[in-house]
């Protein structure tokens, strides 16, 4: 007798309810993204009246045309790629050895170090002291203000440390030590090749965080040539939402506001597309790394 035939009426009812609920959740997650995509190609009047809900209406690329006409958009892409690449590289290079050191039971005072790291998750100096620190270090209005302050994350250290504790057998360390291997060599030759899932997770976490970051640029940058993409898109939206005014103070016929409406959706797609393209390739490592790094055996 198959498992399907052995299911009771209650079990079948539970499956129906469970699948229905999950379908609703998936639809609730996917539909807003789909709506943003079709709205970015639709006529602004149709979007504003609520006519666009399943298929685009009045196909137009005017919003994207206006976005990519902005010369600063390409400079913003370049800056964000630089900040994301260097920031992710620096974060991974600092997080992996730091987390591995904290995962070793022979590290003296590791509980104290972990207490200090966890403390930073609940208490911080605040915006003004942080700004003064960055200013005194000479990093304001430089690319380093977008890379260095967020290089280390207490959450990432905890996840990575837990992964090392659960995935790297202590017997493997002892065997390497008996063979005369140093800690550094063991880390580089054995630990890192076995840590592909958590490395992928750290790359994904940091890359997404740097790509979506705009607040540090808003606080620390004054030179528009250093603005990241998110800040450039913010400036474009602010400029296009303001109605064009004549010398007499009269506004235009509202066409600029219509274009601004579809530009809102276009900027979401422009800023999110690289992350959406990257995620499927790292998704399996992301799930595996989170599960292993979140449970301490």
Residue 245 has what DSSP assignment?
Answer: B
| Domain ranges for the chain | 9-60, 68-294
Q: What percentage of the chain exceeds 90 in pLDDT?
A: 22
More confident call, 275 vs 154: 154
Task: Summarize pLDDT for 88-131 with one digit per residue, the tens.
Answer: 999 999 999 999 999 988 888 888 999 999 998 888 888 899 99
Residue 138 has what DSSP assignment?
Answer: T
Q: What percentage of the chain exceeds 70 in pLDDT?
A: 85
* pLDDT at residue 248 greater than cutoff 60: no
Q: What is the pLDDT of residue 148?
A: 92
Task: Summarize pLDDT for 166-175 with one digit per residue, the tens.
Answer: 888 888 888 8
The number of CA neighbours under 13 Å toward the Cβ of 117 is 19
Q: Is the pTM of this model over 0.75?
A: yes
Residue 132's alpha-carbon distances to 125, 136, 190, in angstroms, are: 11, 6, 42
Backbone angles phi and psi of 143, in degrees to 5 = -65, -25
More confident call, 273 vs 159: 159
Q: What is the pLDDT of residue 257?
A: 63
Place 288 in a pLDDT band, splitting at 50, 70 and 90: low
* pLDDT at residue 249 greater than cutoff 60: no
Task: Summarize pLDDT for 9-48 with one digit per residue, the tens.
Answer: 778 888 899 999 999 998 998 888 888 888 888 887 777 7
Show the 3-state SS of 19-39.
HHHHHHHHHHHHHHHHHHHHH
Which among 42, 46, 168 is positioned nearest to 96, based on CA atoms?
168
Q: Cα(119)–Cα(103) distance, rounded to whole angstroms?
A: 18
Range 68-294 classified under CATH 1.10.3720.10: yes
């Amino acid at each position: 007798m198959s498992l399907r035939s052995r299911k009771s009426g209650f079990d079948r009812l539970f499956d129906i309810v469970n699948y229905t609920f999950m379908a609703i959740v998936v639809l609730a997650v996917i539909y807003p993204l789909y709506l943003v995509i079709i709205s970015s190609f639709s006529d602004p009047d149709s979007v504003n009246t609520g006519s666009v809900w399943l298929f685009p209406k009045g196909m137009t690329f005017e919003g994207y045309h206006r976005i990519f006409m902005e010369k600063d958009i390409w400079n913003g892409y370049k800056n964000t790629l630089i900040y994301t690449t260097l920031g992710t590289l620096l974060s991974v290079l600092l997080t992996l050895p730091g987390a591995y050191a904290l995962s070793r039971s022979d590290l003296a005072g590791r509980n104290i170090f972990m207490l200090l790291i966890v403390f930073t998750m609940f208490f911080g100096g605040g915006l003004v002291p942080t700004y003064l620190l960055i200013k005194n270090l000479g990093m304001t209005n430089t690319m380093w203000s977008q890379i260095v302050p967020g290089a280390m994350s207490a959450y990432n250290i905890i996840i990575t440390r837990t992964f090392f504790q659960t995935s790297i057998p202590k017997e493997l360390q002892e065997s390497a030590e008996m063979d005369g291997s140093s800690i550094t060599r063991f880390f580089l030759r054995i630990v890192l090749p076995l840590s592909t899932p958590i490395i992928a997770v750290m790359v994904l976490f940091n890359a997404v965080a740097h790509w979506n970051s705009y607040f540090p640029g808003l606080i620390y940058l004054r030179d528009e040539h250093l603005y990241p993409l998110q800040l450039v898109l913010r400036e474009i939206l602010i400029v296009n939402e303001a109605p064009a005014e004549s010398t007499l103070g009269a506004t235009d016929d509202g066409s600029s506001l219509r274009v601004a409406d579809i530009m809102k959706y276009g900027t979401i797609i422009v800023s999110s597309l690289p992350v959406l393209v990257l995620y499927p390739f790292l998704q399996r490592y992301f799930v595996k790394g989170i599960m292993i790094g979140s449970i301490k055996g």
